[in-house]
Amino acid sequence: MPRDSMTSLVQKIGRQALVTFRNPSLVGDKAFLDNQGKLQTLMTEIRAADLKIAPRKVDCASTPLPHNPPVTYMHICETDQFSMGVFLLKSGASIPLHDHPGMYGMLKVMYGKVRITCFDRLDKSTNVASDTQFKPPLLPFQRDTLRRSILRSVGEFTEESGPCILTPDRDNLHQIDAVDGPTAFLDILAPPYDPDDGRDCHYYKVLESASDSEDKKAEAQGQKEVWLMEVPQPSDFWCGGEPYPGPEVNI
């Protein structure tokens, strides 16, 4: 069925995102949840054709080059309240485990398949016990960067799936992997990353404990707890830019 020619679906999404996130003081109340539900419904409907994006073929290059980044980004729009764009991952590419400090997010696959691994950070005051050992062993200063977290979920999403949602407290850390070929997803973050306002992107590595006693205890409680260590941006990951070919979004 043809879309309303007067207002594109992506324009409707942009307007609804603004309504949803423009008043931070209302985040979490009924009005916010109602508007978030409306945004989720619109995101469920959108497809690659609505953004004039054609699915990419499997890439021939096996090694990423400076002019051939593993991930690219199409900027659609950005306000103080939210940003919206499309991430495109080449076959076998990943967006490493990272966080979204104090941010909400909504991700909808446009084509292909992604695997999303989500973590929740536990109490920031949780410190690693002095007798906990890791493989390989950590240096003393590295132990100060550890954060106890819960592996919340691992799921695969396609264009037929509903949006993947993150909040400041739930599924806020995630890794995104392209599965079985190239993939792309529409991404909304609210508010946008802003290092000057405490919203910088941090990368993490999942550590393996040399002792499995803590893991057994966590499994007995029905959840898997892990230690995450903050690391620099991985050297094999970088994100290039490319033009967005779809309908203009005016906010």
**Contacts for 9 with CB less than 8 Å, ≥ 6 apart:** 3, 42, 45, 46, 50
> Is 0.85 topped by the overall pTM?
yes
Q: At which residue do the structure tokens 């536990």 appear? A: 122
Q: What is the pLDDT of residue 214?
A: 52
Q: What is the mean pLDDT of residues 201-216?
A: 72
Cβ-contact 21, 191 below 8 angstroms: yes
pLDDT tens per residue across span 2-22: 445 589 999 999 999 999 999
**Helix axis angle, 30-45 to 9-21, nearest 10°:** 160
Distances 142 to 121, 136, 230 between C-alpha atoms, Å? 18, 12, 9
pLDDT surpassing 60 at residue 183: yes
| Collapsed DSSP state (helix, strand, coil) of residue 138 | coil
pLDDT tens per residue across span 141-158: 677 778 889 999 999 999
